Structure 1
Amino acid sequence: MTHPAATLIAEFRAAVDEIEARLAPSACATIASHNWIVIDDFGPLAFTLTPEGRKHRATCTGHGRAHKVNRFTREDAERLAAACNARAAFWTDAAHEEAATLRRHIAALEAASAA
């Protein structure tokens, strides 16, 4: 296996482990209403929130992992998604999808490295 592929596989595995740890059941519960994220074609979007009176202005700052980006109410996520040409998703669904994608990448890299 080439060194860059091995490094990438290790990084992907670490990311999958981190995602699965966040998805594991725990004694803590999160309010379900604030579990929506915004995703575009390249992945989950992160935002900086700036207070403006009684509301906040959300400015997109790039991409992140589904379990690490800002979480919103469904309505706020849908409003941001419409403004960003993206879609709103429940974070756990997005995290499961992200972990599955990383596993597919790992399998493809291992297959290419074995050939």
Structure 2
Amino acid sequence: MNRPDPKNVKQIACIGAGTIGGGMIAEFLARGYSVTAQDPGKDALASLERLLDQAWPILEQIGLTASASRERLRFTTDIEEAVAGADFVQESVPEDLELKVRIYERLDELVPPEIVIGSSTSG
């Protein structure tokens, strides 16, 4: 199986946009990637925007890539929409084993086998 060359990754899907996922989203945007964030939470987008408002000035001090932009962010509550066309998928849902299993079952259905799925975990 041929995995995409990491240098060719342009579009990232981030499943979960809470504290951990939001931090990863901010970093991906700061490095110039296009990101589709997915989170079903009622206030997830507003919370993510607040996190980005706090993180972006710090990321600017650290140094953004030339193509870095918050405008590269799309948000959806639909996991299928989020992963469509993704070159890399980052899972950052809460530490709930049943939830993680359901998410990975769904990703297994939606994501081509050559696409890398990263996971954040604190458990």
* TM band (smaller chain): under 0.3
TM-score, normalised via structure 1 length: 0.26
Structure having the higher helix fraction is 1
TM-score, normalised via structure 2 length: 0.25
Structure having the higher strand fraction is 1
- Kindly name which structure, 1 or 2, has the bigger radius of gyration based on alpha carbons: 1
